[in-house]
A and B are shown apart, each in its own frame.
Chain A
Amino acid sequence: MIKWGKVWSDFFIVLALTSNVGFIFSHDPYQLIVAIGVNLIATVLKFGAKKILAAELLATALVADLHLIPATFLYFSGVHIPLAIGLAIGAAVANVISIVLLVVEIIFEYKSEEEY
C-alpha cells in the first residue's frame, strides 16, 4: 500500500531539486520564486519526523534554504547575479544529498521490515 504522507514529502524533496536545477539553467526569476517556495515547503515537511535520518534530512534542507534565501536577495537586487547562481548550485548539491539520504533511509526501512 502506498503511504500518501510519504508520497507528499518525497514529492517536495524531489521537486526542490528539479526546480532548483531549472533555475540554474534558465536564470529565470519566476523559476527562482518556485524554487524557493518548494524548498521551504520541503523543509517544513521534514519537521518532527522521527525516522532514522530525520536530523540529517532536516539539516540538508536547511542548508538548501540558507543558500537560496541570500540567492533570492542577490538576484532581485540585481547585483552579484553570478554569485546568486553559485548559491543556487550550492543549494542543488544540498538537495542531491537530501535525496541520497532519502534513498538510504528507504533501504534501512526495507531491511528493518525484513527482520520482523
Chain B
Amino acid sequence: MRKKKKVPHYGNVKPINYQAIYEEKFYNILFQLRFPLMTVIFFTTLSVLILMIINNKADGVHVLNYFFHTVITLSTVGYTEGYDGNISLNRFFSSMFIIIGFPIAYLYGLVATVNVFMNSNIQEIYRYWRMYKEMNKLKGHYIIVKFNDITKETMRVLKRRKIKFVLIEPDRSKEEEIRKFGVDYYVFDEPHKREVLLGVGILDAKGLVTAFEENTQDIAVIVTARLIRPDKENFYIISTATNEGAAEKMKLLGANEVIVPSVTIGRRIASYILHPPSPTISKFLEKIAYGERTDIDIIEIKIDENSDLIGKKLKDIHMREETGATVVAIIRADGKMKIAPSGNTEIQEGDSLLVLGHPKALRRAEDFFERHIVEDKDEEKEQEEVKAND
C-alpha cells in the first residue's frame, strides 16, 4: 500500500536537480574505471600467487619481493628480479606473464585508467557541481531567461546591487560568453519546461525576467512560471514584447510588466526633444529611476492602516533625523500626488510615501515605519485613556 501524495497545482512534475546531474557525471567516470582497475588488480594478485607457489615461499620478505617484481614488470620499469634461486623457472614464468599479462594489464588496465582521467575533464564537472550546489541554496533570487544585450544590461545592474540571479539559456554555445561576462549561476536548458523552472528554484524566487526576441517564446515562459507561482503580488514577471498587442496578451496571461523596446525607445527620444536634456538633472533622475547608482535610491512605503503615524504631521515624526531618508512625495488614497510635502503635511490613512536616500537609510526607513505599526488600535486607545486618567 502506498500513500497517495498530494499533487501540486502545477502538476506532478519533478524539478531537475542540476547538482545531481553533475554528480552522476562523476560517477560515470568511476564507472569507466571498473574494468581497467579490475584487470590490474587481478593480474597483480595472480602473479604474486604464482610466484609464491613456484618458489614455495610465503614469508613476508619474499611476498613483498614478489609483489615488487610484479609491479616493476607491469609498469615496464624492471629494476631487478624480485626472486632468488630457481632462476630458470622464475624467468620462464616472468616471460609468459609478460607475453600474456603485460598487454592486458598494462596496455588495457593502466593506459585506459590514465585515459579516463585525461578525457573526462573532472575540473569542469567539479566547477559546475559546486555552482549548482550553491544555486540550490538560493532564496529570494531572480530568474533571468535568455542571454542577450537586454538581459546583459539587467544583470549588470543586479550584480552592482548584489542581487542574486540565475540565468537560463537554451543555447549551449553561449557558454564561453556567459562565463566571460561573469554570471554566477547559469543553466543550459529550455526555460518553458516546468521541471527546469522548478530546478532553478522558482518556488523560492522573487521574480522572473524573460527577454526573447520572439513573443511566442516569452509567452511560453510567462505562462509556465505563472502556473507554478500564481500569486502576482509575490512573484514578479517582467517581459519584453515586439508590439503592443503581444504586450497586452502577456499581461493578461500573467506578466506584471511588459516592455516593448521600440515604444520605450521612441518615447525616450520624444522626451529628449520636448525637454532638452540638462546634463546634471536629467542624468541624476535617470540614474535614480533606472537604479544605476548604488548610493541613492527611491522606494515607496505604504502606510499601514494600523500605523500610529496616521494623523501626525511629517515634521513631528522625526523620520529624517532617525533614518536619514527624505520623503519627497505623498500619494494619497485617491491617487493624487503631493510632491515635496512641507513639514505641516499630515499623514492620512491609505497614503503611500515616496522616500529618497541612501539604500541603507531606506532600509532604516522601512524599519521605522514597521515599528510604528500598532497591533491593536483599541489597546492603544485604552492606554491613552489610562494616561489621561493619570
Contact = CB atoms under 8 A, between A and B. Distances in A.
B29 A37 contact: no
A25 interface: no
B24 interface: yes
Nearest to B44: A37
A109 to B, nearest CB: 17
Most A-side CB within 10 Å, residue of B37, B42, B46, B60: B60
A29 B45 contact: no
Contacts of A76: 59-60, 63-64
Interface in A24-55: 28-30, 33-34, 36-38, 40-41, 44-45, 47-50
Range class of the B interface residue count: 20 to 34
Contacts of A77: 60
Nearest to B60: A76
A44 B32 contact: no
Contacts of B31: 47-49
B337 interface: no
Given A29-B52, A29-B58, A76-B60, A34 B45 contact: yes
B45 A48 contact: no
Interface string B50-78: 00110000111001100000000000000
B30 interface: yes
Contacts of A44: 33-34, 37-38, 41
Nearest to B32: A48
A47 B33 contact: yes
B53 A30 contact: yes
A40 B41 contact: yes
Contacts of A75: 60
A84 to B, nearest CB: 11
Contact of B24 (A30, A38, A50): A50
13 contacts: A29-B58, A30-B49, A30-B52, A37-B44, A37-B45, A40-B41, A40-B45, A41-B38, A48-B30, A48-B32, A48-B34, A76-B63, A77-B60
Interface of A: 28-30, 33-34, 36-38, 40-41, 44-45, 47-50, 75-78
Given A33-B63, A47-B34, A50-B24, 12 more contacts: A29-B58, A30-B53, A37-B42, A37-B49, A40-B45, A44-B34, A44-B38, A45-B38, A47-B37, A48-B31, A75-B60, A76-B60
